[in-house]
C-alpha cells in the first residue's frame, strides 16, 4: 500500500478553502495520442523498470513508466566509480548497463504488464540497425504504449555514439525506429548542441511523434587532492536541479518553434512548482529522475500535490497551463 503519510494532508485540505474541490481537477493528458491519467512519468535511467520503486508505492499511480534504456545485447556498463555528487545534483557514467532486449522482454515487461503500468520503452544502440532491431522486437507488446529513442546519452565509451549531436544521424535513427514501431515514437535529445531546434525539427521530420527534452549534460569532476577524475569514464552526465533552467529553456525554445509537437520535459524536477514550470514552458508530460534517489516517494507526491496546487488556484485542468508564459 502507498505510504500516504508522505503526502501532507494539509496541502490537500486547504485547496478547498480558496479554490475549487480537489476532485474537480483533471490531470489527464494526451501525449502523442497516448492517454495518461496524469502528466508525471519517470525519467529513463533513474527508475530501472519499476519493481524497486513499487515497494514504496504503486507505480501505476504515475502517468507512465519510462524504463531504463534497453539495447540489443546485454551491457555491463562502465567501470566504477560511476557516480559523483555535485553541489546541486550528480554526475553519472553508468554506460547504459542493461540485460539486453530479450532478457528484458522475458523478465521485466511481464511484471510491468501484470501491474497494469503504461510503459514507454527507452531504446539505445551503437548503430541505426541496432535501434531498428530493438524497435522491431518491441512490436505488439501490450503494455508498451510508446518508444523513447535515446539518442543523447553522454555515458558511452565513444562520443560518436551520441547521435543527437548530429541532425542527420538523429534523423536516420528515428526513421529506422519509426518504420518498425507500432506505437508513438519520442526522440530524447541533448542540450549539448549549438541549436536544439534544428535537431528537433530533423527528428520530427523523420517520423518522431514527440520529444523528450533533455538528457543529462556532459560534465566532469576532479578530486582536488589527487588530481584524478571522480568518474572512471572521466566525463559523465550531469543531472539534478542544476540543469533544470537549461531544460526549461530547451523545452520553451522547441515548443515555440514546433508548437504541435508533444514534449516530455525532463531535467532536475523535484517539486510541483518544477512540474508547473515545465508545463508553462510547453511540456505535455514531465519526467522525474534524480530526485527519486533522494526521495523514492517523489513521483507519488508530485501527482497528489499537483492536483491540490491547481485546485487552490481554481485551475480545473493541467492543460490550461501548457505553454502559458506571460511576456
Q: Tell me which residues are annotated as active site.
A: 153
DSSP 195-207: -HHHHHHHHHHTT
- 39 phi and psi angles, rounded to 5 deg: -85, 5
Q: Are 184 and 33 in contact (CB under 8 A)?
A: yes
Is 289 annotated among the ligand-binding residues?
yes
Q: Are 72 and 127 in contact (CB under 8 A)?
A: no
Dihedral angle over CA of 288, 289, 292, 297, nearest 10: 20
Is 216 annotated among the ligand-binding residues?
yes
Is 170 annotated among the ligand-binding residues?
no
Is 240 annotated among the ligand-binding residues?
yes
Q: Which of 299, 263, 262 is nearest to 42 (CA)?
A: 299
Q: Are 163 and 169 in contact (CB under 8 A)?
A: yes
Q: In whole angstroms, give the CA distance from residue 264 to residue 243.
A: 15
Q: Which helix (H) or strand (E) holds 124?
A: none
Is 150 annotated among the ligand-binding residues?
yes
Is 188 annotated among the ligand-binding residues?
yes
Residue 232 CA, distance from chain mean position = 25
Q: In whole angstroms, give the CA distance from residue 130 to residue 74.
A: 12
Which cell is 266 given? 525532463
Is 95 annotated among the ligand-binding residues?
yes
Dihedral angle over CA of 110, 111, 116, 121, nearest 10: -70
Is 291 annotated among the ligand-binding residues?
no
Is 214 annotated among the ligand-binding residues?
yes
Measured in residues, the chain has a length of 327
Is 114 annotated among the ligand-binding residues?
no
Q: In whole angstroms, give the CA distance from residue 118 to residue 212.
A: 17
Is 215 annotated among the ligand-binding residues?
yes
Is 290 annotated among the ligand-binding residues?
yes
Is 45 annotated among the ligand-binding residues?
no
Is 94 annotated among the ligand-binding residues?
yes
Is 204 annotated among the ligand-binding residues?
no
Is 267 annotated among the ligand-binding residues?
yes
Q: Are 221 and 231 in contact (CB under 8 A)?
A: yes
- 209 phi and psi angles, rounded to 5 deg: -85, -20
Known binding-site residue numbers for substrate:
68, 92-96, 150, 215-216
- Binding residues for FMN are 44, 68-69, 150, 188, 214, 240, 267-268, 289-290
Amino acid at each position: 500500500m502507498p505510504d500516504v503519510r508522505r503526502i501532507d494532508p494539509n496541502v490537500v485540505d486547504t485547496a478547498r478553502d480558496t479554490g475549487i474541490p480537489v476532485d474537480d481537477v483533471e490531470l489527464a493528458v494526451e501525449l502523442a495520442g497516448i492517454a495518461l491519467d496524469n502528466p508525471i512519468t519517470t525519467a529513463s535511467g533513474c527508475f530501472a523498470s519499476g519493481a524497486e520503486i513499487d515497494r514504496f508505492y504503486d507505480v501505476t499511480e504515475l502517468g507512465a513508466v519510462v524504463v531504463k534504456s534497453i539495447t540489443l545485447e546485454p551491457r555491463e556498463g562502465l567501470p566504477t566509480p560511476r557516480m559523483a555528487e555535485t553541489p546541486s545534483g550528480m554526475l553519472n557514467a553508468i554506460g547504459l548497463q542493461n540485460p539486453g532486449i530479450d532478457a528484458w522482454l522475458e523478465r521485466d515487461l511481464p511484471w510491468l504488464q501484470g501491474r497494469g503500468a503504461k510503459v514507454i520503452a527507452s531504446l539505445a544502440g551503437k548503430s541505426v540497425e541496432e535501434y531498428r532491431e530493438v524497435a522491431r522486437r518491441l512490436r505488439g507488446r501490450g503494455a508498451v504504449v510508446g518508444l523513447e529513442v535515446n539518442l543523447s546519452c553522454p555515458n558511452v565509451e565513444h562520443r560518436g555514439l551520441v547521435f543527437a549531436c548530429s541532425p542527420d544521424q538523429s534523423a536516420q535513427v528515428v526513421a529506422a525506429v519509426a518504420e518498425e514501431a507500432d506505437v508513438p515514437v519520442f526522440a530524447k535529445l541533448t542540450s549539448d548542441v549549438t541549436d536544439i531546434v534544428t535537431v528537433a525539427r530533423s527528428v520530427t521530420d523523420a517520423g518522431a511523434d514527440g520529444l523528450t527534452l533533455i538528457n543529462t549534460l556532459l560534465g566532469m569532476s576532479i578530486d582536488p587532492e589527487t588530481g584524478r577524475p571522480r568518474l572512471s569514464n572521466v566525463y559523465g552526465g550531469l543531472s539534478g536541479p542544476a540543469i533544470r533552467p537549461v531544460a526549461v529553456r530547451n523545452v520553451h525554445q522547441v515548443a515555440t518553434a514546433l508548437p504541435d509537437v508533444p514534449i516530455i520535459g525532463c531535467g532536475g524536477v523535484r517539486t510541483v512548482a518544477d512540474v508547473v514550470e515545465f508545463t508553462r514552458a510547453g511540456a505535455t508530460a514531465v519526467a522525474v529522475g534524480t530526485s527519486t534517489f533522494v526521495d523514492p516517494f517523489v513521483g507519488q507526491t508530485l501527482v497528489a500535490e499537483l492536483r491540490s496546487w491547481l485546485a487552490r488556484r481554481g485551475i480545473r485542468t493541467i492543460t490550461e497551463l501548457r505553454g502559458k508564459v506571460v511576456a
